[in-house]
């Protein structure tokens, strides 16, 4: 059975933006403020460093807060994470599902109708949640493409829901903009929490805006 997963406020970690604080310290505060799911992401870390980071993050999570690892299927399995999130240039989702088995969650990034159509064409149960974005162009991930805007995200989210997939929006979301994002099951943030002076307060503001 797959773990429970509440996508309401989904945090993707950023080691550089969290500094000088540790990622686990930021995550602990963010969860106290209302973050409901966490994805460990650090493209500069070695596999060993990512594994150690994932274990450290897992240790500070409250029960019921799902833990994903970005891209690294081996790390997710070894660290006992609840799931894996892959992008369009990572391993294909069907192959990732075969590796992680039926009892872990799988997320997939989608940025347009064609990418979402591929996700929807996969066998039911392959993907659990799609990340839709960027909503707005963001310096956190400059290669993510042009912003879809809230309307574009809502349209893709409706297609995902019709196909049985949950969705989170990502890209340039702040507490001031969060209410503009509709139709999705949750919002996904990086800098809005990781770069905040008070991650708990930032998370509370994001939850309050929804």
CATH at 145: 3.20.20.70
Strands 66-70 and 37-40, by their bridges, are parallel
Q: 3 lies in a domain?
A: no
Tokens read off for 123: 């066998």
Is residue 140 a part of any domain in this protein?
Answer: yes
Mean pLDDT of 181-193: 98
Query: Is 2 an active-site residue?
Result: no
Domain range enclosing 59: 9-208
- Would residue 41 show up in a list of annotated catalytic residues for this protein? yes
Does the annotation place 13 within a ligand binding site? no
Per DSSP, what are the bridge partners of residue 109? 131
Q: Which two tokens stand for residue 107?
A: 């997320």
Note whether residue 203 is domain-resident. Answer: yes
The pLDDT tens digits for 120-158 are 999 999 999 999 999 998 776 666 668 999 999 999 999
How many C-beta atoms lie closer than 10 Å to residue 209's C-beta?
16
Classified as helix, coil or strand, 45 is coil
Would you say residue 4 lies in a domain?
no
Q: What angle do CA 35, 39, 40 make, to 5 degrees?
A: 120
Give the active site residue among 18, 28, 41, 104. 41
Q: Is the pLDDT of residue 20 over 90?
A: yes
In a domain, 98, yes or no: yes
Active site residue 141: yes
C-alpha span between 68 and 158 (Å, rounded): 24
Look at the chain and report how many structural domains it folds into: 1
Q: Identify the residue with better confidence: 143 or 41.
A: 41
Catalytic one among 28, 97, 104, 141?
141
């Amino acid at each position: 059975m797959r773990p429970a997963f509440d996508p309401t406020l989904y945090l993707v970690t950023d080691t550089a933006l969290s500094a000088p604080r540790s990622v686990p310290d930021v995550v602990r505060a963010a969860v106290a403020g209302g973050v409901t799911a966490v994805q460990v992401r650090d493209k500069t870390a070695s596999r060993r460093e990512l594994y150690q980071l994932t274990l450290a993050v897992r240790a500070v999570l409250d029960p019921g807060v799902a833990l994903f690892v970005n891209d690294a299927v081996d790390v997710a399995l070894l660290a006992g994470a609840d799931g894996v999130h892959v992008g369009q240039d990572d391993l294909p989702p069907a192959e990732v599902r075969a590796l992680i088995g039926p009892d872990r969650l799988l997320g997939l990034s989608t940025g347009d109708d064609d990418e979402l159509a591929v996700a929807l064409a996969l066998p039911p149960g392959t993907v659990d949640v799609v990340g839709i974005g960027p909503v707005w162009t963001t310096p956190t991930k400059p290669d993510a493409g042009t912003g879809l805007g809230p309307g574009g995200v809502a349209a893709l989210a409706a297609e995902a829901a019709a196909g049985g997939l949950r969705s989170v929006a990502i890209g340039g979301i702040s507490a001031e903009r969060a209410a503009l994002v509709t139709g999705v099951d949750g919002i996904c943030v990086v800098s809005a929490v990781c770069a905040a002076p008070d991650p708990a307060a930032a998370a509370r503001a994001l939850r309050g805006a929804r």
